Amino acid sequence: MRISKKGVYAIEALVYLSYRDEKLSITEIAKARNCSAKFLEHIFSALKKADILISTRGKNGGYSLKKDAEDITCKDIVIAVEDNLEPVACISGSCPQESYCMTRQLWINLQNELYKSLSKVSLHSLVEAYKEALVHEIDYQI
């Protein structure tokens, strides 16, 4: 059930993309977020398949959100890039003890709570929180 670097980088890259509110290249985003452009390519491919991102080729090309940031949840993003978020393997129905498992419902409930929590957080709300943090950041350099 651990959210991998793919999930974390996907959310961070989309927050950055939404914050900048313009088409950006993978190279620009990777540099700003301090991650590998190759790794980000893999992530963005999954986000395009999930209809979260669109890409435009050419001189003024780059990546942009396919939907409004308010309509994209962290659940949408994480599910698009993560292979599996099940806390235990038996949730998918592949367990031979499924019919008499005494804790299966616990794991299903745990997964449902995670999805419910991720569904409550929109990309827009993360961008607004980021903007708010920037406003309160004080630079004491002379």
Does 97 have pLDDT greater than 70?
Answer: yes
pLDDT at 113: 93
pLDDT digits (tens, 9 = 90+) for 108-134: 899 999 999 999 999 999 999 988 887
What would the two tokens of residue 73 be?
């949840």
* CATH architecture for segment(s) 5-136: Orthogonal Bundle (1.10)
Residue tagged 């059930």 (tokens): 1
Instruction: Give this prediction's pTM.
Output: 0.86
CA gap 45, 81 in Å, rounded = 9
pLDDT digits (tens, 9 = 90+) for 27-50: 999 999 999 999 999 999 999 999
Lowest pLDDT segment from 1-5, 40-44, 135-139: 135-139
Domain boundaries, the chain: 5-136
CA gap 80, 10 in Å, rounded = 9
